[in-house]
Amino acid sequence: MDMWLSESQIKDAAMTYKVKETLVRRKTPFQDLAIVDTEAFGRMLLLDGIVQTTINDEYVYHEMITHIPLLTHPNPKKVLVVGGGDGGTIREILKHPSIEKAVLCEIDEIVIEECKKYLPEISCALTDPKCEIFIGDGIKYVHEHKNEFDVVIIDSTDPFGAAEGLFGGSFYKEIYECLTDDGIFVAQTETPFYLPEVVKKVYDDAKAVFPITKLFMAGIPTYPSGYWSFTLGSKKYDPEKANVIDKYDLDTKYYTKRLHSASFVLPKFIEDLTK
């Protein structure tokens, strides 16, 4: 008998995947965790039934949330990742030669534990000496570290449950204070097809805090609608004006230097959300 996994972000649409095997399922103190092996996308991490990452398309998300801010900043040395227990964002951060320290702040230690076991291609950099892992509340961590990080990346789950506090104006003010004088932050901010109100609210909240705020997009097949937004807030550097062409080359599968500025060119219906 075939097994199928279905994920719905809105009540009238769902994404469905054929599952070969359930590798692990655990109820953590924070969420229901599962890692399954699918026919189309390989091994897949789910939290509370929502797809977080897969072996076959994870590179899109992790490259875009990382390389856009890190190549916009002229010399990033210290980076904070809030969430991101799978380790993919840390892996991409440590490709940059200027990085001296990358801190992963993850509230759920079991996510890290199981991803190391079942998703080694993604979690492979979590043992790097430049990576420091802190298990705890990301909001509290940001509040307690002022003027410390060149880049802060909010690699969170959807804005429900444990991650709800990571979306909003008060938290973005805390991030602003956590950043150095020329710091940059970026967050994943959902799909404008299904959740335009979330995309607009996050953008507006960030814009109220950061002098430069930009929305950029990427195509991620396993995320609802397949079209995903990221919001970037910067104290000083405009990502569309960054001279990335003359910078070092990176080993990537999705991100390119030409794509860097092109990803900020928005379709009109998304552009309207930023007005």
Residues marked active site are found at: 155
Per-residue pLDDT tens digits of the chain, which is 275 residues long? 688 999 887 778 889 999 999 999 999 999 999 999 999 999 999 999 999 999 999 999 999 999 999 999 999 999 999 999 999 999 999 999 999 999 999 999 999 999 999 999 999 999 999 999 999 999 999 999 999 999 999 998 655 554 454 456 689 999 999 999 999 999 999 999 999 999 999 999 999 999 999 999 999 999 999 999 999 999 999 999 999 999 999 999 999 999 999 999 999 999 999 99
Annotated binding site for S-methyl-5'-thioadenosine: 31, 106, 137-138
CA distance to 41, 42, 134, 248, 265, per residue, from 255 (Å): 20, 21, 28, 13, 15
Amino acid identity, position 225: S
Fold for the domain defined by 58-274: Rossmann fold (3.40.50)
Q: Where are the domains of the chain?
A: 3-53, 58-274
For residue 241, the tally of other CB atoms under 10 A from its CB is: 9
H helices present in 107-208, as ranges: 109-118, 120-123, 138-144, 169-178, 196-207
- Which tokens go with 263? 């990803």
Angstrom distance (rounded) from CA 175 to CA 3: 42
Architecture of the domain spanning 3-53: Roll (2.30)
CA distance to 4, 38, 270, per residue, from 13 (Å): 15, 20, 20
In 3D space, the residue among 139, 151, 271 whose CA is nearest the CA of residue 214 turns out to be 271
